[in-house]
Structure 1
Amino acid sequence: MDSSMKDPDWDPVPLIAGSGGVLTEELRTSHAGRRALMLTRNENPTEFLALADTMDVQVVEIVAQRGRSDKRTHLGRGRLEAIRDELRMAPESHPWFGIDLVLVNANLSARQLVNMTDMLQCETWDRVRLLLELFTQHASSVEARNQVRIARLNADRNVLRELVNRETTGERLGYGAGGRTGWNVALNALNRELKTLRGRQRRYSRAIKERQRQRRASGARTVGLAGYTNAGKSSLFASLCGKPVIVEDRYFSTLETTVGRMQFSPRVLLVDTIGFIDDIPSDLLDAFSATLKESLECDLLLLLLDCSDPVEEVVRKFETSRRELFDRSDPDAGSYDLLVVLTKQDSCSESHVVAVNHALDSFGVSETILTSSTSSEGIEHLRSNILTRLHGPPISFLVSPPNSASDRPIAAIESEIRRNSMVGERRMSDEGLHLVAWIDPADWVRLNRSLGDRIHREVDQPSQAE
């Protein structure tokens, strides 16, 4: 066979760091146990270290260089060359021996990422690439994997465009001429895959809208859970509705939407979804827009904050979450009902809670609810507050006993009431069945029509339910 039939008519494409595996079939999905070197300028590395730890990547050392970011290489060229030489020549006794990954605590441009990879001759991730690898590991559903893949390809396309620009500009003979290169072929393949994935995402968005329409038609109320990543959203979700979910003390353990009915209240649906994080490019979160909308387009939004964090961290995460919520809210839909919930009460002191509330008060947050999913403190109070905001205060009413054998028994009436309300208290007496419940005004009118004189509203009295 002619050798020309075997070889492609374009240049071979080497694997570069940050390409997300689009240029190779050997995409690595697990990075546990890898040893990494972290590079940073003026940024606080604490959160970046936590993200690396979530992936079980061991950061051996942090190399810092103060000053302004270089628009070509982020860190200075001399510092990068020194790091490259030390990585190459590190003997087995050297702490850097075995390092095969460089983490850069910044959102790099495509130009900076490509240049740093060329200079270091080592796989290099910036903050975005680290998040994308983390998302890839944690995406379990088809929808989540589709959204993560779109985010990865968007990031890869910027890198490929930079490489195509290198191939097609310059002063050497052949630069700027027609013809195909390996980078062009890869870029075209990436664009075709993106088009297919976005088509799937549009179908997924339509399916979400149809689910929301059906919920509204059935009279169900939705409560969205939003907040910074690892704020305890999944734990609170499990406590409120009893539905098993992934509950881990790790960043971004939840990437897809989880919907469940609040326990003892069939008409209230809880929606748990991906968390926010500071300094993340908007186009990266845009890939999860369909998932976020399902949580944000709700009757009541719970904004969760980890109360065990230092006060300045609580404020920073509150500002980030609030900014993301405002940026992603539909201005035509009007303002939504927002309730701030402080989680992990069992991990902080009363004085710390007071300091957190005082800091939030400067942002106009006058009411917060303190909870702990571990000890269940505050869970019932939160449940009562949710129902009151959705249905108004609980009402007391009496179900009279049947007057004849043909009348419906009290048990059947109680069953119908429980299907349409959240019963807080129940007591039997000679007069009949006394109930205290949260019930939607429309459902109360319908029950009155169907039950007639068998149901009577009583004078409101203080109760445990309130």
Structure 2
Amino acid sequence: MTRKSTTYKPLRVAIVHRVQPGEKPNLDELRELCLTAGYEVVYELIQRRYPHPKYNIGPGKLAELKDAVKKLNIEKVIFENDIKTVQEYNLAKALGIPVMSRVQLILEIFSLHASSKEAKLQIKLAELKYELSRAREKVRLAKMGEQPGFHGLGAYEADVYYNEINRRIHTLTKKLASIKKRRDLFRLRREKYGIPTISLVGYTNAGKSTLFNALASESVPVDNRLFTTLSTTIRLVKIRGRRAFLSDTVGFIKNLPSMLIDAFHSTLSEILFSDLILLVADFSEPVDVVKEKLVYSLETLGSIGAHSIPTLIVLNKIDLVSDAERKVEKLGLTLPYVMISALYRTNLDLLEQAIASMMGDYVVATAKIDGSDESSAKVLSEICKKSNILELKYEDGFINLKVETPNYLAEKLKRLSLVKSFRVEGS
């Protein structure tokens, strides 16, 4: 007996954006999010009006939407707006199908793409915080007999429901704190070797993972959809012969739910320990879109305290741009930038040159330090923190070193009395 093969059919959805009078509607990003979640967008609705208290959209547009649901076999409606619990319920009741907001869609996508233990815990924490923010309204509707799944919920049961969410949030927070401690320990071990860290950041789907693969000569998942990367991936790479840790982080997106920002704060905080940030942007998009996403990305970096870290803008996907020089002029960038194609590895040599320049000039040197000098431990500690140790030997009371070190530190070491010999290779 053979089993019949089944063909996957994506869920048919309608997307809706209600904007205030005078505002500009935009469903482009919501459309992309739906694609990432595996949905097929078959209908779009836009309305300019102040929010209707019962449905968010007005009764007239609701009638249009209801008609489209019936004619196009729509199975779910997704709002760009964050809708209230009671509005969600009223809409679902009127349309006869599930209704959700952009916030819920993003949570769903994150849940689908979470692969590491930490990412899964972070997503669950965000979901619970979102549920907690709506719990009281759900309980109120339950007491009125209007909230599906909560019929007959009494005051005692409502308190139990609310307290259970808080208890689970507390448990997950403790687990994530434990994971953070282990990650902090790994970071301290990396810092011990004095190897600099370069962080790849940017708006989601800008090509960070493709660039990571190009620089690291590895293969992390690359997908032309949003939020492929949710966990921080770190690899040891060589840039112009110099070793560095390269970090690929979760992508940014505007109007990211606050509970997700909170949940991923420990992951994003890894950026704070970077020596250089590569801010990747999709250069193939319209100028105003590139500007908007760069501004939002820089604001996000500022919000976590990373605004003072040297930042290089990487304008990616130059292979899809016809007049790059003219386009970059329109951007009016104030930060240093490089135009590349990570996919075709175009201008990667220029990127590496820019990275090396911003990280500072380094030299390879050998040194012989008097180990009996009382300040030798302090000097050695500074060297280890700021240099790449290639060789280290203790012999007859002396510390023999071969290091890759910043030029300014090499000049400083030459002048110290406890450094008995110092030679820069190639000089």
Tell whether the structures are fold-level matches, with TM greater than 0.5: yes
- Helix, strand or coil at the partner of 1:290: helix
Which of 13, 31, 47 matches 2:29?
47
Matches of 1:146 and 1:231, distance apart in 2: 26
Map Cα deviations across residues 239-263 of structure 1 (whole Å, 9 max, x no partner).
Answer: 1111321111111000000001123
Partner in structure 1 of residue 149 of structure 2: none
CA shift at 1:114, angstroms?
3.5
Match of residue 7 from structure 1: none
Which digits, 9 at most, give the CA deviation of each residue in 1:13-32, with x for residues without a partner?
A: xxxxxxxxxxxxxxxxxx96
- The answer on 1:288 being equivalent to 2:264 is yes
Secondary structure (helix, strand or coil) at the match of 1:262 reads strand
Q: Counterpart of 1:348?
A: 321
1:339 maps to 312
Letter in 2 for 1:277: I
Q: Deviations over 1:125-146 (max 9, x none)?
A: 1110111111111111111111
> Using the alignment, how far apart are the partners of 2:300 and 2:357 within structure 1?
27
**Distance (Å, rounded) in 1 between the aligned partners of 2:130 and 2:422:** 66
| Inter-partner Cα distance in structure 1 for 2:57 and 2:14 | 14
What SS does the corresponding residue of 2:332 show, helix, strand or coil? helix
Is there any run of 5+ residues in structure 2 with no aligned partner, and where? 1-7, 20-24, 146-152, 367-386, 391-402
CA distance in 2, matches of 1:86, 1:375: 43
Q: 1:73 aligns with which of 35, 55, 59?
A: 55
Amino acid at match of 1:393: D
Contact 2:363 2:407 (C-alpha < 8 Å) held by counterparts: no
Q: Secondary structure at the match of 2:279?
A: strand
Deviation at 1:217, TM superposition (A): 2.0
What percentage of aligned pairs have identical amino acids? 30
Unaligned runs of 5+ in 1: 1-30, 171-176, 399-417, 422-436, 459-466
CA distance in structure 2 between the partners assigned to 1:167 and 1:273 by the alignment: 41
| Match status 1:440 vs 2:414 | no
Contact 2:207 2:316 in 1 (8 A): yes
1:32/1:300 CA distance change after superposition, 3 Å: farther
Separation in 2 of the partners of 1:384 and 1:420?
22
The one-letter code of the counterpart of 1:39 is V
Give, in whole Å, the separation in 2 of the partners of 1:438 and 1:375.
31
Within a 5 Å distance, the mapping from 1:125-140 to structure 2 comes to 125-140=100-115
How has the CA–CA distance of structure 1 residues 357 and 394 changed in structure 2, closer, same or farther, with 3 Å as cutoff?
A: farther
For 1:292, what is the secondary structure of its paired residue? helix
- Taking the TM superposition and a 5 Å limit, the aligned residue runs for 1:292-311 are 292-311=268-287
How far residue 280 of structure 1 moved from its aligned partner, in angstroms, is 2.1
Q: For each residue in 1:371-418, what CA deviation from the matched residue of structure 2 results, as whole angstroms up to 9, or x when unmatched?
A: 11122122122222222322x2355989xxxxxxxxxxxxxxxxxxx9
* Contact kept? 1:139, 1:255, Cα under 8 Å: yes
Conserved? CA contact 2:80–2:102, under 8 Å = yes
Equivalent residue pairs, number: 374
1:161 deviates by 1.8
The code of the aligned residue for 1:373 comes to: A
1:284, CA displacement in angstroms? 2.2
* Structure 1 position 231, deviation (Å): 0.7
Pick which of 449-458 and 282-291 moved more.
Answer: 449-458
Could you tell me which amino acid in structure 1 is paired with residue 167 of structure 2? R
CA distance in 1, matches of 2:50, 2:236: 51
Matching of residues 8-87 of structure 1 within 5 Å: 33-42=10-19, 43-80=25-62, 83-84=65-66, 87=69
Q: Does 1:227 align with 2:202?
A: yes
- Is 1:383–2:352 an aligned residue pair? yes
Task: Name the structure 1 match of 2:162.
Answer: 187
RMSD: 3.2
Give the TM-score normalised by the residue count of structure 2.
0.78
Aligned equivalents of 1:209, 1:66: Cα separation in 2: 48
Provide the C-alpha distance between the structure 2 equivalents of 1:101 and 1:306, rounded to a whole number of angstroms.
30
Give, in whole Å, the separation in 1 of the partners of 2:423 and 2:304.
48
The whole-number CA distance in structure 2 between the counterparts of 1:394 and 1:354 is 35
Distance across 1 between alignment mates of 2:258 and 2:124 = 16
C-alpha displacement of 1:116: 2.7
Alignment partner of 2:48: what SS?
coil
Q: 1:49-82: per-residue Cα shift (whole Å, max 9, x none)?
A: 0111122201111122222222442111453356
SS in 1 for 2:238: coil
> Which residue identity does 2:327 align to in structure 1?
A
Distance 1:313 1:32, change over 3 A: farther
Q: Does the 8 Å CA contact 1:229/1:276 hold for their aligned counterparts?
A: yes
Greater strand share, structure number: 2
1:454–1:221: structure 2 CA closer, same or farther, 3 Å change rule? closer
Could you tell me which residue of structure 2 aligns to residue 393 of structure 1? Answer: 361
TM-score when normalising by structure 1: 0.72
Q: Report how far residue 354 of structure 1 moved.
A: 2.7
Point out the structure with max Rg over C-alpha: 1
Compute the displacement of 1:293 (Å): 0.9
Q: Quote the residue 1:412 is aligned against.
A: none
Aligned 1:349-428 pairs, distance under 5 A: 349=322, 351-361=323-333, 364-365=334-335, 367-390=336-359, 392-393=360-361, 395=363, 420=389
Would you say the 8 A contact 1:397–1:457 is kept in 2? no
CA distance in 2, matches of 1:277, 1:268: 27
Distance 2:356 2:136 in 1: 52
Contact 1:219 1:267 in 2 (8 A): no
Question: Is the CA contact (8 Å cut-off) linking 1:81 and 1:120 kept in structure 2?
Answer: no
Letter in 2 for 1:60: V
